[in-house]
Structure 1
């Protein structure tokens, strides 16, 4: 190798797991051999080889090699026997693919390199050093942070999936240090994926700050006593040897003995027949055809090659690799994501058919629209999206519609665009020159309605509830529908993963960054409504959305079957979309006068509280100012517990104020009350009228994919967070009223999460109490405190109630003490006694934690998975919080699934009984209906029956579900 040459080094082991975790368990048709990872690997490698030879890209390799890990034991295990010790075994369907992938590399006529006793990273480091010393450049094809220490003026790290190239400045931007300090940074931070210990409590940001101050790890350890923060100083002093060991573990060996010389890595054209023969043997039809055409090989004349299959263990290939989580979009050091679900042939199609916006069509006449509709009938599917004037589906006007029928085949129909400088929406026909011809809205809807409602054509969308509701307002009930957002949510629900928006999914699974709304319309004062943007640009933006959505569907939908999640999606998610959309369209009526009176009353109460606060403080001040409040509480009055934030201000958070109030300090109590009343006024009584339509109805919006457990959330406005335990909150509910001749019916599950706990943890005492219809809190108190149920003091029952509900949510002794206003030691004794009386609960919690740590997720009774990749975090506080969430998730998630099942069944059940009741709201465990006066008595038993039997026949609960239902003129009286 000489000056000017360019070496490409592919991290083959990372490639394997990127391919595996981006593909379904695809099998070869002829014999069922698992080949999903092989297919993905071959497609990625072919794409890389072809792109790297494109002189227009400007980076053409002269030398090329694919590097693999070889053995499970390396010199690092001799240094530290815990190194990579916690890695899980490989999936069974991946084991036989390791040897097939190595054969694939040889079929490409590329060097396939590995070395016993060394990791692929060490080989990459050694080849990189030799290439740079020879005057060449190096591109390392990987996203593994361990390789960032090699980046330099002549060395870049290339993440092929995201098409990102990282140089020294990029490393500094990402980690706060240049590549030459990455070893020291990793030594401090550690690596949970490789079980490198690091220093507890030191994250990347802190490590970068320390290295900026002290220069090197050695200098830092020598001068650790100078560190100002006590906890940080103690940690580093106590774990100095651990940091030195970690540095040895993360430092790559740049002098690994090589069996293949650098000059032997010279790249040349693949042997067409050899490569095609291998691909035919693997039955990769699409890739075979593409490779044969590129290499000028007649595939029909080439016989499939014999392949060697071995499932022998092969070192680190058997684990997920340190970069797997990064490849899937999760947090660094997180557990591997579940296998993505796209058939390999579909992934190859997505990769080989790049998004080309210039191919999208703007439809301006009926003939072209009819031609596209005919194409939808040919393909049997239609990816569909709307462009509108508002994010509020109930107020949005249509600007245009886009659709796609195949990858790369997409179009946009402008309907309501305006000429630049014009304030009027066009209604169709001849328009301003800057806009051009647009089809009339009515005619477009007439043409599209048959295909959008045809049961033989699958409509595909992203966040389809919005588009469904927009079209429902125009008299079109779209069916059937698939939703890529909800499919992704079912597969990968986790607070630690990336979101389920189209842009995020596109970058994660397609490696493509779509045009953003800001790119199209601008930001700030220069922003324009989409209706005023050039139609050709909107076509690129809107048609791309439909195109990408279709590609994502092809990627994600097969995973549902592969991962056994079809039932969750088909029974709990997809059928709920139209149900929620109709609920949002109906809205709930509110009384403006009641809200106005409440606003006035709350204002008076807040003013009275403010006057009391000023008297107690001894001076007037702005109660809403945290700075002024902190100075009064801790600077002037010297109340205990004061601590300052990083900005130098006193902390005045709600928990601190409530603790002070619990200690008997009157001023903090009044401030808490003032904050609550002003929040209710600002959030509800003042704001709710702004959400009312002309009929005084409020239309909240439900999010189906925003919680890990499957619970729905409400926004614009949020009607789920109106307090029900305070007088003021109940007064706000009185403003939600039924129209004349109707009642509001509230149906609420009674203690559903405690009932599910009794079933799932198999607690005989609780199960029997629920079966007998006993007061569960009194029963618990009797079990714990030995007090008879009859004549039990209310305070004893209250304590048992707090413990019952607290246990479900993983309450601590500190939290229970604050809630009951008792000493922390007493609260701890209550919790200990609870577990002693109900040992099955502790056993259940231990089982859930153990399962979560092994699998990375927990499941509800109906198979919904909540992923917790951080449950193995080295940070004790993070780990403890995740464990509490994981324990609660099966219970809370099962309750959420049950009410979803009830909602899906409810409309048909009411219709079967010829009842006119309309479901309006879902608030946690409660459903709210609007019912004609004369049908209330007939409706209540139907609603109860559907809700109480919602778990059947999937789950036979050991305890009965009980629903409290009542009808009244307003929501508060009905609840």
Structure 2
């Protein structure tokens, strides 16, 4: 018998930590008396033995030894490509200690030994040979011969130095050792050769049950749990079975054959351990293996193992439970397909729509689309993407023919749009209830075809967030994650375990390893285009896409039951006969629909203005960069050619020679060479012509010492982030007159025509440093230089570098993205995605993030001015005043805060007055004014305002007002104020002296988080803290701060949501033609006709002041400031 082996590694020395081995077999035989088997492993060890034998007790026909597979030479039509080794002299060399653990002695014939190694390229002639091989079993996947999984044949000569069986122990000795491999140039494929078509191929990981074995010795036994009655199961094609080498067990295939794996139990010291026996009466549990796809080359470890020893027989049994208890993927998809009605014609569509709009009109329907030609991470679905198919699941009570309750509609190829339009009566009917997962995406995609979607009933993504807001960091809210979570799905009515199907990711089913240029598989898993999958993987694709709607409806049922079992507690009081599902129906369901309408509206953007400020920003960035280069070149000549956007170059220039903060044995070099673009066409030494790049050498600007820094990267090197540079520069301006532009060669090639935007030249001009500058404004770099003049220059130069970073952020995050066509529709309006996906319930925006606009004082290019109203329209921008502080005053029922808000005026000045007695005395004596209301003809107040006379104290009071609401501690404030913790604590105590109710309320929230692992907002939404019970001290501190912040910030989100619903439902605004466009924290933006702007503004203010169905349930007034303008910036 010719022996053939497949392995990817050579055997290694014995280890106490044993790897897992994965076996792949087929049941059809090479000949009448042999069975094909394949094993893939890292390395098997000398005393390990694996064999296959027929179920009738005949002699074994296959033997695996030393990570190799043996099969008959007759399985090859041609063996010219295999190099033969010398025969074993003694066939006893293959005898393992079988008598100790088996009823019969196995006799292995003397044969020759070969092994495949993964390398080489499959030639065309080899393909022809392999195409003729009927039963070659190879390493890895279920690919056919033309899939590029290649191997080169290498021969290992297993010489015998002595008798390999120790006659005393009857065990295999260490006589075998492998020699260096002999490479052979011809190549053969290690891919499985099979006559099945691709559509028939698929993973088939079966379910096993643990059963008692009949053999003696220490053998763990499994019997197959898969029925063999069906014809398609006769060939167990590509079954991956996870196995551990330190276990003993036998796997039986319906009595037809078995694979047994023998290995000794090894203790850490290498000695064999004795196995004790005992009586166990419990029934073995089921064992389920994790599913695998065609691409998977190795099995998945079973996670939990426990051994049971049966008294008297010495038979050991093993229980195992896998992490994933789902049925096999192929079986699951097949079961889905059987319940799906495929609609691919207009006539079939009309028949189905008729049933949906009449017979099944009162059912709840789950809908989902599959879309092509869109990058969902970068592009808005408004006017982007094409539907290739969609599915509708109406539940088990619907029957669209032959018991099929799910509809899958093919709209990919010719006539697809006409088929889709037949479903318009269903989608547009407001009385037909439809549930979605991520409703906004599907709505926009369908409306791209002119269908106005109505009848929105629920979004399971929002329902899941309402049920558990903590999943964002633990599992997420994707349909796959939610439907695959047993805890989430436990509320659904599942008649059978298989109904807990769970959404399967596309990568799991259709993912393929990306091929490298050399023909080998890479590590990256890619998914083919969905159009290709729909055409070429028809059956699994139909099942996969239909599974979306099926899982959505089951998820809806489960979450509805869970929310219905959660009582609704509003403003600290239980609402009788109301649950959180009632909350969803009253608030989040209409709010979800409103967000979709706002996304559809979008905001009009002035792209010409954006292009203009882009040009200006890049010019100013270049000027600021040149300022820094010119200063740096005084200390390092090559710095005038450096890339100021390179962190590595800036770090080398500023901190060369600095020790690593985490490893003092490492440091930045004193100097370092960098490659930069050769824009000056410099001909370097040894070259005849200028190259595209040139080398520059940068060294530290300080020769005898290094700049000190307070900030380091995670790897321990000095940070050159914007914040770190600001500490070095201080609060000085980047414009320190004109010495930085003294060199003509540093001028930008793209100078701006406006003289005010360019710096004047002057070879002989010296820097002008204003002596009147406040020395406290200079940063830490000031003290590092020998003279004050040098220190000032350094701070201003580093401030210029900060300006480079700041401008770059504005360009990359705002100016450029807003000009992209990927985020705008055909009408030029920008459509961002608005999401309820923060743990506090605040809205977030993406693609683009319009909520992340630069602060007004930092908006040097007035980016908000690019957001404009359409011709004939105006914008209304309405903003709550100090909303979160008012929420805190209400929740804590703080007398001091309530009185301050009632009195009106500058709240932060009043806070400072209450904190500091000397300020109160100054106010009472009339030497300063708390506020000033100018009268006609008055240009300035008679005495200074408090905010001017006591600016430092007021800034601390303002910071405290917001910091306390966010649960900030004296430790954090001490860092902000650069004072000791004790000093910060004393200031905090001053704040609490007048607000004792706030401190009491905060302690109650901490206690609530500790006892209930959650806190609630004003309207009753809960934020959960599942890790509270086992949190570390640091984690507990974080949770306690979140417990204080969430009721404040989350309640502010509740108020903003109610205000938006009031505005949306206001008939007056609707009749005037005003529409909500955007919400940014406490601010809302509307657009409508200019002629009715003032009337609409008054209505908006009224809606926001009384957001709870025309009332204000808070103990404090809600202040609203609103303006009308033609652009966003002008309305601020």
TM-score (norm 1): 0.62
The answer to which structure has the higher helix fraction is 1
Distance in 1 of aligned mates of 2:1039 and 2:216 = 45
Change (3 A) 1:932 1:760: same
Contact 2:1094 2:1124 in 1 (8 A): no
Determine whether 1:602 maps to 2:605.
Answer: no
Determine whether 1:631 maps to 2:652.
Answer: yes
Determine whether 1:576 maps to 2:572.
Answer: no
The C-alpha deviation readout for 1:632-667, integer Å capped at 9, x for no partner, is 232224222367656564333444334444544325
Matches within 5 A, 1:187-198: none
Contact 1:404 1:546 in 2 (8 A): yes
Matches within 5 A, 1:371-450: 371-373=351-353, 376=356, 377-378=359-360, 380-389=363-372, 390=374, 391=376, 392-394=380-382, 395-406=384-395, 409-417=405-413, 426=414, 428=415, 440-445=416-421, 447-450=422-425
Determine whether 1:542 maps to 2:545.
Answer: yes
Larger-gyration structure (1/2): 2
1:952 Cα deviation after fit: 5.3
Q: Give the aligned partner of residue 941 of structure 1.
A: 1098
Q: 2:336 aligns with which of 331, 350, 357?
A: 357
Distance in 1 of aligned mates of 2:461 and 2:816 = 34
Q: Give the aligned partner of residue 349 of structure 2.
A: 369
1:137 Cα deviation after fit: 5.7
Matches within 5 A, 1:680-829: 680-690=810-820, 691-704=823-836, 706-728=837-859, 731-786=862-917, 787=919, 788=923, 789=930, 791-794=945-948, 795=951, 796-813=953-970, 815-817=972-974, 819=976, 826-829=983-986
Distance in 2 of aligned mates of 1:155 and 1:552 = 42
Determine whether 1:652 maps to 2:699.
Answer: no
Distance in 2 of aligned mates of 1:179 and 1:853 = 47
Change (3 A) 1:902 1:521: farther
The C-alpha deviation readout for 1:119-176, integer Å capped at 9, x for no partner, is xxxxxxxxxxxx999644699xxxxxxxxxx9984499xxxxxxxxxxxxxxxxxxxx
1:522 Cα deviation after fit: 6.0
Distance in 2 of aligned mates of 1:818 and 1:736 = 37
Change (3 A) 1:267 1:864: closer
The C-alpha deviation readout for 1:322-371, integer Å capped at 9, x for no partner, is xxxx9999xxxxxxxxxxxxxxxxx99xxx99972332332112343344
Distance in 2 of aligned mates of 1:865 and 1:328 = 30
Change (3 A) 1:3 1:752: farther
Distance in 2 of aligned mates of 1:966 and 1:4 = 90
Q: Give the aligned partner of residue 466 of structure 1.
A: 441
Distance in 1 of aligned mates of 2:859 and 2:335 = 57
Contact 2:563 2:581 in 1 (8 A): yes
Q: Give the aligned partner of residue 320 of structure 1.
A: none
Q: Give the aligned partner of residue 265 of structure 1.
A: 282
Q: Give the aligned partner of residue 475 of structure 1.
A: 451
Distance in 2 of aligned mates of 1:385 and 1:761 = 45
The C-alpha deviation readout for 1:182-230, integer Å capped at 9, x for no partner, is xxxxxxxxxxxxxxxxxxxxxxxxxxxxxxxxx9xxxxxxxxxxxxxxx
Distance in 1 of aligned mates of 2:285 and 2:447 = 59
Distance in 1 of aligned mates of 2:1117 and 2:977 = 30
Contact 1:521 1:533 in 2 (8 A): no
Distance in 1 of aligned mates of 2:266 and 2:984 = 51
- Give the secondary structure class of the aligned counterpart of 2:1094: helix
- Give the secondary structure class of the aligned counterpart of 1:514: coil
Distance in 2 of aligned mates of 1:179 and 1:907 = 72
Distance in 1 of aligned mates of 2:220 and 2:507 = 42
Contact 1:496 1:869 in 2 (8 A): no
Matches within 5 A, 1:202-217: none
Change (3 A) 1:459 1:843: same
Provide structure 2 residue ranges, at least 5 long, that are not aligned to the other structure.
1-99, 104-203, 224-242, 250-264, 270-274, 287-321, 397-403, 487-499, 516-525, 568-579, 657-699, 731-778, 782-794, 924-929, 932-944
Distance in 1 of aligned mates of 2:709 and 2:601 = 49
Distance in 1 of aligned mates of 2:369 and 2:439 = 10
- Give the secondary structure class of the aligned counterpart of 1:470: helix
Distance in 1 of aligned mates of 2:267 and 2:989 = 52
Determine whether 1:489 maps to 2:465.
Answer: yes
Change (3 A) 1:875 1:614: farther
Distance in 1 of aligned mates of 2:896 and 2:1023 = 29
Change (3 A) 1:528 1:956: same
Q: 2:808 aligns with which of 672, 678, 692?
A: 678
Contact 2:614 2:811 in 1 (8 A): yes
1:601 Cα deviation after fit: 1.8
Contact 1:609 1:674 in 2 (8 A): yes
Q: Give the aligned partner of residue 61 of structure 1.
A: 210
1:530 Cα deviation after fit: 2.1
Provide structure 1 residue ranges, at least 5 long, that are not aligned to the other structure.
6-54, 65-130, 140-149, 157-177, 182-214, 216-253, 270-325, 330-346, 418-425, 429-439
Q: Give the aligned partner of residue 877 of structure 1.
A: 1034
Distance in 2 of aligned mates of 1:492 and 1:180 = 46
Change (3 A) 1:695 1:797: same
Contact 1:3 1:136 in 2 (8 A): no
Contact 1:62 1:266 in 2 (8 A): no
Change (3 A) 1:467 1:58: closer
1:462 Cα deviation after fit: 0.6
Moved more, 929-938 or 721-730: 721-730
Contact 1:63 1:265 in 2 (8 A): no
Change (3 A) 1:640 1:814: farther
- Give the secondary structure class of the aligned counterpart of 1:793: helix
Count of aligned positions: 658
1:825 Cα deviation after fit: 5.2
Distance in 1 of aligned mates of 2:418 and 2:245 = 60
Distance in 1 of aligned mates of 2:101 and 2:992 = 71
Change (3 A) 1:132 1:669: farther
TM-score (norm 2): 0.53
Q: Give the aligned partner of residue 552 of structure 1.
A: 555
Distance in 2 of aligned mates of 1:523 and 1:962 = 58
The C-alpha deviation readout for 1:578-615, integer Å capped at 9, x for no partner, is 21112111111111221112112211221222123224
- Give the secondary structure class of the aligned counterpart of 1:957: coil
The answer to which structure has the higher strand fraction is 2
Distance in 1 of aligned mates of 2:102 and 2:1062 = 69
Distance in 1 of aligned mates of 2:882 and 2:503 = 46
Distance in 1 of aligned mates of 2:1082 and 2:817 = 25
Distance in 1 of aligned mates of 2:869 and 2:1099 = 20
Distance in 2 of aligned mates of 1:779 and 1:151 = 72
1:410 Cα deviation after fit: 2.1
Change (3 A) 1:623 1:771: same
